[in-house]
Amino acid sequence: RMAHLPFRKTLDQFDFAFQPSVDERRIRDLATLRFVEHQENLVFLGPSGVGKTHLAVALGLEAIKQRYTVYFITAHDLVQTLQMAHMTNTIKQKMKMFIKPDLLIIDEIGYRKMDETAAHFFFQIVSERYERGAILLTSNKTFGAWGDIFGDNVLATAILDRLLHHSSTVNIKGESYRIKEKKKAGFFR
Ligand code: ADP
Ligand code: MG
């Protein structure tokens, strides 16, 4: 799949009326990809089902259209890949995969805690990309809870420090689109 995107969804397929906490003008502005050009970061925060991955994929597709290199990976797969690479002494090559693309999308930070090795390599990716390459992150956890995710408050602070220095955060509050669709189909009656 293109840039490992999990599905193809565009901004035009996003129902902004359903999610009023998402400002369409702001998202359209982000879709100009100035943040990619300027090696800045973007974070989508919010509960499950509110469209974080959809928006991340839509911006990823836009970036591909504009000829940027994009790599999409879930935090879970990223951790597994790094741990495996660490064990098989291929970490250097693997790290390149996450450091080289113009836009690295890391989806679903916070569903799982990271162990020390994973947290260490995650920090390394963020450090290497700092002011060199854009990262788009999605998370269901507020920044205050990131100490828990990385199992280390000092490390989490160092990660957030670099990540947020040149960044913008979109907080999405609202109902899950998945549940809305189930309600429509009568699952909740
Ligand atoms: P999250 O990553 O926040 O858990 P997703 O982006 O995976 O949520 O959204 C769940 C599903 O609902 C996806 O199929 C997505 O395309 C769809 N979806 C979410 N929000 C909207 C929206 N506002 N308009 C259209 N589809 C949406
Ligand atoms: Mg998601």
For a substitution probing ligand 1, which of 44, 177, 183 has the most ligand atoms within 8 Å of its CB? 177
The contacts of residue 31 (CB under 8 Å, 6+ apart) are 11, 58, 59, 62
Q: 111 in helix, strand or coil?
A: coil
Distance from residue 54's CA to the centre of ligand 1 (Å) = 5
- Which tokens belong to 52? 């974080």
Distance from residue 56's CA to the centre of ligand 2 (Å) = 9
What is the b/e burial string over 140-151, where b = at least 16 CB atoms within 10 angstroms of the residue's CB? beeeeebbebbe
How far is CA 185 from its chain centroid?
30
Residue 1, pLDDT score: 65
Q: What is the mean pLDDT of each run of 10 residues along the chain (189 residues)?
A: 92 97 97 98 97 98 98 96 95 95 97 91 96 97 94 95 97 92 74
pTM score, whole prediction: 0.95
Contact indicator for 1, 8 with CB cutoff of 8 Å: no
